Chains A and B, each alone.
Chain A
C-alpha cells in the first residue's frame, strides 16, 4: 500500500492527501462534517454500491494538475476517483445545492408521506435529506405508485411504496449470504425489491438488510409499531455470539429491550454485521452485557431527553427504606393503579409481532 501515490485533492477549499483510487466521497468523508456529500445508495461496506441515487453529486471545478479543465457536468462523488490536484466543490457550489434539491424532489415523487406511521421516522436518511434540501410541497399531480403486498417472512416487513431503489439490500443479501433469493424485479417505474415466488428470507444474516435500508422500506417486524425511536435509549451492548461479533446497540425503554440493531457509525453505516439470533431473539436485558449509552448526534431527535454521560442509565438508589428501618414510603398515588399505559403485566417488547387490540384486553 505504501508505494501507492498520494493525491492532493481540495474539497470545498480544504486540501487533503488521499491514496490514488479513493473516491471523492471517501476523501470528503476523511475531512468529515458538512463537506461530506450525503449518500442514499453508497455503502462503504458493500461492494458495488453507489451511483444510483445521485444525492452525492459534486462539481469538479478543476480536473487535475495535468488537465485543469473542469468536468462538464456534476459527477457522482461515490463513483468518481480523485486525481492529483483535483478541486471539488460540494456545499460551496450553488449548482450542486440546486441539483441536490432536484434529486430530493425526484426521490420524494413516489415516496409516501406516512412518516407518522413509519418505524424509520427519526432515523431515516431520506427524512434528514428532505429536511435539509426538500421543498415544502410537491409538484407531482399523479397517483403515487403502489405495489401488491409482499410477505417476506416473519422477521422483516417490506413496504415497497417507501423504497427508493438504492439496491443496498440487494447487495447485502448477495454478499452476506450464499443463496440469492432477494433482488429487484421488473424495470423502471415498476421495479420492485422482492423475493422470487413469495420466498421468505431465512438466512442467518438477512436481518442486516433492515439496517442498510436508508428509508423505511425494510423494517423490523418484531419492533413494528412498538415504540418510536426517539422514546428509546440506545445502549451499546455485546454478547458471546457463535455466529457474529455480538456487538450491537440495544434500544431500551426502562429495562425492556425493544429493538436490537447493529452499531452505526457517523455516516449511518453498520460497523459490524449482526446475526438474526442477536437481532430478533435476544430481547431481554439479561441476554446482554451492557457497555453504556451510545453516542447520538445531538441534532438527532433520538437524543431528545438524553443527558450527557451515564446520567439516566442507572436507577437511583432509594434511600427511604434504608433510613426508615425498612419501611416502604407511603405513596399517595401509584400511577399504575390508574394509568392504562405501560401496564406492568403487559410486556409489548417481548411480542414477536406488532401489538394488536387483543393484547390490551388482558
Chain B
C-alpha cells in the first residue's frame, strides 16, 4: 500500500517506447537485414565456446564430486570397516550397510576384523555433497570424477559393493592405478 503508482526505474537505461512513424530508410528493411546478417556471419570467425561433448571432454574441477568409489589399500584389501559414519553423515540417507566379522582366511580381502559385507548407495537419493567422504575415518570412500550414468530404470541406480569397489591391485594393477586417479595417498 505504501508503493506509489508510478513505478520507480530499476536502472537508468530504461527508454520509453518510440512510437514515431518509420523513416524511408527503415521502411526499405534491406539495410537492417544486412546489418543483422553481418553480426551473424562474423561469429563464424570467432572462437567457439562450446565443445563436441561425447568426443571431446572438459577437464573436471579438482573439487568435482561425482560417483562414489570404495577404496582398497595397496594389497587389495577393502578399507571399509562398516563404521556407519558415512551413513550417519549422509543428509539424504542414501547409504546403507551390513557389517560382518572377518573369518580366518579372509585377511587378504578385508583390512580390519570388521568389514562391510553389504554396502549400498542409492544414487537416486544421493545429492553428491561429499559428506560421506569427509566423515570416513578409514580413507575408504571417495567421490570420483565420473557422472552417474543415465538409466531408464530406477533399479539401475542402486549401487552395490561390486559397483563401487575399485579394481584390485593384485589382479588389475593398471585399473587400480587409474582408479586412484594418479593422486595416490600413502596413508595407513
B165 at the interface (CB under 8 A from A): no
For A4, the chain B residues whose CB sits under 8 A away are none
B13 at the interface (CB under 8 A from A): no
Q: Which 3 A/B pairs are nearest by Cβ-Cβ distance?
A: A116-B83, A354-B101, A228-B84
- B92-149 at interface with A (beta carbon < 8 Å): 96-101, 103, 106, 112-114, 117-120, 137-138
- Cβ of B138 to closest chain A Cβ, rounded Å: 6
B67 at the interface (CB under 8 A from A): no
Give 24 CB contacts A-B under 8 Å.
A115-B137, A116-B83, A227-B84, A228-B83, A228-B88, A231-B88, A301-B88, A304-B88, A337-B155, A338-B155, A339-B96, A339-B158, A340-B120, A340-B160, A341-B98, A341-B118, A342-B96, A342-B98, A354-B101, A356-B103, A357-B103, A357-B106, A358-B103, A360-B118
B88 and A230 contact, CB distance less than 8 A: yes
For B106, the chain A residues whose CB sits under 8 A away are 357
CA distance A116 to B81 in the complex (A): 7
Given contacts A301-B88, A340-B120, A341-B120, contact A356 B83 (CB under 8 A): no
- A297-352 at interface with B (beta carbon < 8 Å): 301, 304, 332-333, 335, 337-342, 348
For B84, the chain A residues whose CB sits under 8 A away are 227-228, 230-231
With both beta carbons as reference points, the residue of chain A lying nearest to B98 in the complex is identified as A341
A: contact size bracket: 20 to 34
B-to-A contact residues, CB < 8 Å: 81-85, 87-88, 96-101, 103, 106, 112-114, 117-120, 137-138, 154-155, 158, 160-161
Partner of B158, one of A115, A231, A338, A355: A338
Interface of B is mostly: mixed
- Cβ of A74 to closest chain B Cβ, rounded Å: 34
B117 and A357 contact, CB distance less than 8 A: yes
For B96, the chain A residues whose CB sits under 8 A away are 339, 341-342
Interface of A is mostly: loop
CA distance A355 to B85 in the complex (A): 20
B101 and A224 contact, CB distance less than 8 A: yes
A333 and B100 contact, CB distance less than 8 A: no
- Cβ of A154 to closest chain B Cβ, rounded Å: 14
With both beta carbons as reference points, the residue of chain A lying nearest to B97 in the complex is identified as A341
A226 at the interface (CB under 8 A from B): yes
A121 at the interface (CB under 8 A from B): yes
B120 and A339 contact, CB distance less than 8 A: yes
For B158, the chain A residues whose CB sits under 8 A away are 335, 338-339
Partner of B117, one of A332, A335, A360: A360
CA distance A224 to B154 in the complex (A): 34
With both beta carbons as reference points, the residue of chain A lying nearest to B112 in the complex is identified as A117
A255 at the interface (CB under 8 A from B): no
A348 and B98 contact, CB distance less than 8 A: yes
CA distance A339 to B87 in the complex (A): 16
With both beta carbons as reference points, the residue of chain A lying nearest to B138 in the complex is identified as A116
A227 and B99 contact, CB distance less than 8 A: yes
CA distance A231 to B82 in the complex (A): 12
A267 at the interface (CB under 8 A from B): no
Partner of B155, one of A227, A333, A359: A333
A115, A117, A348: which has the most chain B beta carbons within 10 Å? A117
B87, B118, B137, B138: which has the most chain A beta carbons within 10 Å? B118
A225 and B120 contact, CB distance less than 8 A: no
CA distance A304 to B93 in the complex (A): 12
For B119, the chain A residues whose CB sits under 8 A away are 341
B118 and A340 contact, CB distance less than 8 A: yes
Given contacts A348-B98, A356-B103, contact A117 B120 (CB under 8 A): no
CA distance A201 to B125 in the complex (A): 47
CA distance A26 to B157 in the complex (A): 56
